[in-house]
Amino acid sequence: MRVGIGYDVHKLVENRNLILGGVEINYKKGLLGHSDADVLIHSIMDSLLGAASLGDIGKLFPDNDEQYKNISSLLLLSKVKNIIYSKGYSINNIDSVIIAQKPKLSPFINDMKKNICTILNIKEDQINIKATTEEGLGFTGKEEGIAAQSICMLKKIS
């Protein structure tokens, strides 16, 4: 068994779509980034890559490479899954938390889980997603950005 942790943060800006867990959320701001800036998916990818000792998403999908501009993070997650599986690992479980003052994310969590389970070919009881605020403190509490943290456990299958 191998464990990995991932963290990502992006700034909230106007004129961008807010996408978390592959779900487009109707909100006045979105996350700024080279790809779709999906902090949840990015943190999950980094946890998977870390558990397999394969670096991070910046190494695999550099933000100066035009092929990744505005790309769906779900597509990148699929690539990470293929890499992880090709190295002989399967996903045991993932636990994630999204840190955002607003918008309220609980209505979207089931759809996020379904998207991720479909891409990773895992069951819904293998992933947990939570959302929390920081009670108005820090950059997330002041609605300047959104962050996500993830941890995963991989099993060696070959």
Give the span between the Cα atoms of 118 and 130, in whole angstroms: 19
132 is in an annotated binding site: yes
**Amino acid at position 57, single letter:** I
pLDDT recorded at residue 158: 64
> What confidence tens digit (pLDDT) does each residue in 30-64 have?
999 999 999 999 999 999 999 999 999 999 998 88
62 is in an annotated binding site: yes
8 A C-beta contact, residue 15 and residue 59: no
146 is in an annotated binding site: no
pLDDT recorded at residue 44: 98
158 is in an annotated binding site: no
118 is in an annotated binding site: no
36 is in an annotated binding site: no
> What confidence tens digit (pLDDT) does each residue in 88-132 have?
999 999 999 999 999 999 999 999 999 999 999 999 999 999 999
113 is in an annotated binding site: no
57 is in an annotated binding site: yes
107 is in an annotated binding site: no
125 is in an annotated binding site: no
22 is in an annotated binding site: no
pTM above 0.85, yes or no: yes
140 is in an annotated binding site: no
CATH code given to domain 2-156: 3.30.1330.50
66 is in an annotated binding site: no
58 is in an annotated binding site: yes
109 is in an annotated binding site: no
